[in-house]
Amino acid sequence: MTAQFDDTFRYRDRDYSIAGISEGELFDISVFGLKPSMASTACWRGYLAVFALVESHLVLDTLHVNLLRPGDGRRRFERQEGPIINGVAPSPQKKSPPKEDLDELDFFNNHYDGLSYQLKYSGGILLADGFIQSLYVHMGFHPAWKYTTVIELVFDAGILKGEFDRSDRMAEVREMVTKSPKAGSSSEMPTRKEIEQFVERAFDRSYRR
């Protein structure tokens, strides 16, 4: 298993990782007629999203997605061009200067920039920054308590209704988790059920408000 790429939220000229969503998902990619293919072991779902605020309204600003179709015989699969979304056609390459080393965006073959697609989500979103590297786990999405800065934004039908600094609360949770006996190694092997529960939690970004 591999740690998964985080979606991003651009808020007040700063990029945050999305570390928690209280009510399901922020949007359903199938409404665009897209069927993503796994981009890498670090992105099983096949897409990466960037969200933002436009006049206090939640929008999907950028979408990177991996779309494939059967190849012509010389290759098993080839790029499938995605549809136009909110007036934006996808680019096959990311809009950034070329680099010698691969980064996460190189795993996607359709890039939608400047979508400004309004969302009707109601609930909370946890924005996180300052990941604590000593808490890294090579699986799933990292929870909010593994970050030093956590901000909760609360929406009603896509409109921002409140902002709360949850950094101190996450520090309290972090202390409880790291000092728990279960956080350390154990001489007993975990059961199959415990392993399944751990994997399920690792890929679940939901939280209760």
The structural domains of the chain, with segments of one domain joined by +, span: 27-118
In this structure, how many other beta carbons lie within 10 angstroms of the beta carbon of residue 181?
6
Mean pLDDT (the chain, rounded): 83
The percent of residues in the chain predicted with pLDDT above 70, rounded, is 79
Contacts of 76 (CB under 8 A, 6+ apart): 70
Q: Of 77-81, 100-104, 163-167, 200-204, which gets the smallest average pLDDT? A: 200-204
pLDDT at 59 over 50: yes
Contacts of 182 (CB under 8 A, 6+ apart): none
Specify the pairing of strand 8-10 against strand 47-54. parallel
Residues paired with residue 51 on neighbouring β-strands, in sequence order: 9, 60
Q: What is the pTM of this model?
A: 0.80
4 and 43 in contact (C-beta within 8 Å)? Answer: yes
In whole angstroms, what is the distance from residue 124 CA to residue 23 CA? Answer: 7
Q: What band does 196 get if pLDDT is binned at 50, 70 and 90? A: very low
Distances in Å between the alpha carbon of 171 and those of 23, 58, 182? 23, 27, 18
| DSSP-derived 3-state class of residue 196 | helix
